A and B are shown apart, each in its own frame.
Chain A
């Protein structure tokens, strides 16, 4: 299928753990198309992270093929996999994983610097645009340590998007956030999705699952069900606010109270 960004066919992932082998994934087939906003749901230990690692090219399948944007990852060298991650994938981590010594602007700029494609002016413009999109223009020169959990995750989202990846992978992006902040982050991702970014994220939080357009349920390393969104979740609350909100995610955020936006985070950044 030419539209598919990610294709998994008969993927197994085994983790040898002493004498036994943990079969983290068994016979997974999956296809993600451009523009999707997909949630991988399932209880803890069901294999969500493992699946995302394979798609994110930071780990390799034991059996089966993983194809990203037409490239079979089994056939790529370590260098090429790194390049693929840099140019085609965006990552949002559970614990944000910002570089502590760099401020928000610099953290977002990081992938562009690694890409070495853009000049300083173009980089600055792009980073500024993203800072605005995630509503952190005022915090451009704050270090992660000076930001709340929600703010940090927004920096992380901006960093994942700055290289204009084919797909953004997010492993439990709200797990370290309180429910209010988590909801905001989710809404931000939804808004960004509407502007064209493909999202694939994992969660075991039922409230998050409600918002997805497609839900892949995992149980014990297998895909238990793969369903299109429920009608209730199809209508995003944010989408209902105003037509402008569909265009500008920042505007969507603007509807939230400042107190909620700065809700303290439980987790610390790196």
Chain B
């Protein structure tokens, strides 16, 4: 009581000192509370993002693999994670554990997809118009194709300065000659004599030379699609329809789809629209300006795709909008794309109303058959085609590039791309290679050698599944030798699939027939092949750590050969993010507290020195050493409690305020970490408790030395006259 009173009195009297020390303590405690609250909130939101989108709570993969599984790492990270030996057994064992809702097989991989080339599209349309005898349309398309061929010739001509033509392959030289022919007036004068032959020439000889083909990089996860969509609650179909259970199919991640497949000008306009909606203005924002300038500069993205009819319509619409008599389409488009904050909304609408209908808005359309090119596990290039069923997103993560990077496909397609190089299969492959003596032979020949030359290229199916026609599909089928090489390894390794597949040998990849796309694989087939890793999804409210232990125990007991990691670890860099923040925060707090400790200690020692006579007097009139010590500690505790409470109070207030308004995610990484556009942090009594404890601990610790000094003060000092 006396101690407390003295302590409070002392603090009150030495306001300056108290203010400094108290300020430090307040800030420190506030940081401890807010830091913990934010970390806990982030941890939760991240787990929401990661657990319920891709990783599940726990990821299992082969034990002792060279690389560690990293779901969100760079594309080259963690490629050698091996694969789970016997997934059906693993699934059975793990699904038997309490708290486990589902075990979803997975295999992530990277791939390249080629966007459609406009010549292919236009030639397909021309063929259709010819067949239907539509004279106007035929004429317009023919002119368009001719213009494209002209441009192609021009671009090939430009190359000549850079490429040593004498070292070109015969194939290249023949190609150049063909383009030369097709660009010549004589070819078009002779077109009418035999349109069929002319079109064949264009399709077979010219189209493969055409540019404008874009490489699009894809990251996908092959999985049991039915299970996946059931178990991952953030999964949400955006367009199209789900992959029918057990069937082959591909679902684009919506964000990735928009970014990679959409017409560039249209995509930029969309992004401008979004950014303007966020409150930025064309007048002041450099990024918006840059997009706008790109739209003006890249007018060819539009003009290339317009035939005479489309060009006429667009010209008319733009002239009306701009109030101009300008006949030059390029100038019209450039003027149209020079937008400002006032006319943006109107022109955005006009773009979609008057220009977009004449454009191929997406390089791949829903309903198309997509040709995925990739490398097998063994490193051989391969390609597989698969129907695109639709697009999906992870709920409230649709703006996050991290969550939006991964597309989905079925387990069978994944396996065809990934290959399966078990030891005996590798041996088999070696035997085949030696037996046929084809080491030096081109791969496509090798495949022909393996499967015989009787599979006819004509059997490659009609793939234009969508009535609108698709760039990618046409591109995939209508070209020779576009895919760099064949999946020799795959072909050798997956004989069962090969039986069902109709191989388009000329194209050098797997060209599956429609009947394969319609085939329904049973659970045994889905689970029974290569599974690189698997997600263990838990029932709500299950203790993640307990299950992790149980999974590890089960793996040891049943010799499943698994390594099990939690979602934090599995997500790679992003999962470690929380650890990094934690470390940063902890370091910052440590520094603050050490500084506070030193300052507090110094102030207290100084205060003790100032109070030598007072303490001596107290001792003289009968205060025990322990009472002096207690007095100092009481002072420290009052200080700690007072400012600790203040800091904690401010911290809780701050967090609650943030909870009410939400912390906006200013970039897409944050959208992912926040599991949505805003983070609504929470604070628990534990955070407050730890904050108060830290404040108390620091003050008491910093008081120990001065307090000890004080107890050493002899009562006799009280007797000495005033110095």
Contacts and interface: CB of A to CB of B under 8 A. Distances in A.
B315 interface: no
The secondary-structure label for the interface of chain B is helix
A58 interface: yes
A112 to B, nearest CB: 9
Contacts of A115: 622
B6 interface: yes
Contact of A86 (B5, B614, B621): B621
A53 B622 contact: no
A83 B622 contact: yes
A83 to B, nearest CB: 7
Contact of B621 (A78, A85, A171): A85
A82 B721 contact: no
B721 A175 contact: yes
Interface string B1-18: 110011001101100000
Nearest to B613: A270
A270 to B, nearest CB: 4
Given A53-B716, A113-B1, A270-B614, A94 B722 contact: yes
B216 interface: no
A101 B621 contact: no
Contact of A95 (B10, B620, B623, B721): B721
Nearest to A111: B621
A94 B621 contact: no
A52 interface: yes
A56 B620 contact: yes
Nearest to B626: A79
A110 interface: yes
A100 interface: yes
Contact of B718 (A78, A93, A106, A175): A93
Which of B1, B2, B719 has most chain A Cβ within 10 Å? Answer: B719
Contacts of B624: 79, 82-83
B715 interface: yes
A171 B719 contact: yes
A49 B627 CA distance: 26
A234 interface: no
A268 B722 contact: yes
Contacts of B622: 82-83, 85-87, 111, 114-115, 163
A97 B617 contact: yes
Which of A78, A82, A91, A267 has most chain B Cβ within 10 Å? Answer: A82
A115 B6 CA distance: 16
A100 B6 CA distance: 10
Contact of B617 (A78, A101, A175, A270): A270
B714 interface: yes
Interface string B595-634: 0000000000000000001101111111111010000000
A73 to B, nearest CB: 13
Contacts of B1: 113
Contacts of B9: 101-102
A82 B627 CA distance: 11
A214 B2 CA distance: 39
A176 B2 CA distance: 29
A59 interface: yes
Given A111-B622, A115-B622, A171-B719, A100 B13 contact: yes
Contacts of A176: 722
A159 interface: yes
Interface residues of B, number: 28
A87 B714 CA distance: 18
A52 B722 CA distance: 17
A99 interface: yes
B2 A113 contact: yes
A79 B715 CA distance: 12
A115 B627 CA distance: 12
A206 B5 CA distance: 42
Contact of B719 (A49, A99, A106, A268): A49
Given A99-B614, A100-B13, A270-B613, A159 B719 contact: no
A21 to B, nearest CB: 18
A82 B619 CA distance: 7
Contacts of B621: 85-86, 91, 110-111, 114, 159
A83 B613 CA distance: 19
B715 A85 contact: yes
Contacts of A113: 1-2
B623 A53 contact: no
B627 A106 contact: no
Given A82-B624, A85-B622, A86-B622, A114 B722 contact: no
Contact of B613 (A82, A86, A97, A163): A97
B623 A101 contact: no
Given A87-B622, A91-B620, A270-B613, A52 B719 contact: yes
A242 B715 CA distance: 41
Contacts of B5: 102, 106
Which of B617, B627, B714, B716 has most chain A Cβ within 10 Å? Answer: B617
A213 B382 CA distance: 120
B714 A58 contact: yes
Given A101-B13, A175-B721, A270-B617, A59 B623 contact: no
B14 to A, nearest CB: 8
Contacts of B714: 58
Contacts of B719: 49, 52-53, 56, 58, 93-94, 171
Nearest to B714: A58
A106 B722 CA distance: 23
Which of A49, A79, A113, A268 has most chain B Cβ within 10 Å? Answer: A113
Contacts of A85: 620-622, 715
B722 A100 contact: no
A109 B566 CA distance: 64
A101 B618 CA distance: 13
A121 to B, nearest CB: 15
Interface string B396-431: 000000000000000000000000000000000000
A268 B624 CA distance: 26
Contacts of B721: 94-95, 172, 175
A175 B614 CA distance: 19
A268 B619 CA distance: 20
B6 A101 contact: yes
Contacts of A267: 722
A124 to B, nearest CB: 14
A131 B264 CA distance: 93
A112 B148 CA distance: 106
Contacts of B619: 58, 82
Contacts of A93: 617, 718-719
A219 to B, nearest CB: 20
Contacts of A171: 719
A264 to B, nearest CB: 15
A212 B382 CA distance: 118
Interface string A107-138: 00011011100000000000000000000000
Contacts of A79: 624
A99 B617 contact: yes
A93 B620 CA distance: 10
Given A113-B1, A114-B622, A100 B716 contact: no
A87 B12 CA distance: 30
Interface string A27-67: 00000000000000000000001001100101100000000
Contacts of A94: 719, 721-722
A54 to B, nearest CB: 10
Interface of A: 49, 52-53, 56, 58-59, 78-79, 82-83, 85-87, 91, 93-95, 97, 99-102, 106, 110-111, 113-115, 159, 163, 171-172, 175-176, 267-268, 270
* 3 tightest A-B CB contacts, nearest first: A86-B622, A101-B9, A113-B2
Interface of B: 1-2, 5-6, 9-10, 12-13, 613-614, 616-625, 627, 714-716, 718-719, 721-722
18 contacts: A58-B718, A79-B624, A83-B624, A86-B621, A91-B620, A91-B621, A95-B722, A99-B614, A102-B6, A102-B9, A110-B621, A113-B1, A114-B621, A114-B622, A114-B623, A268-B722, A270-B613, A270-B617
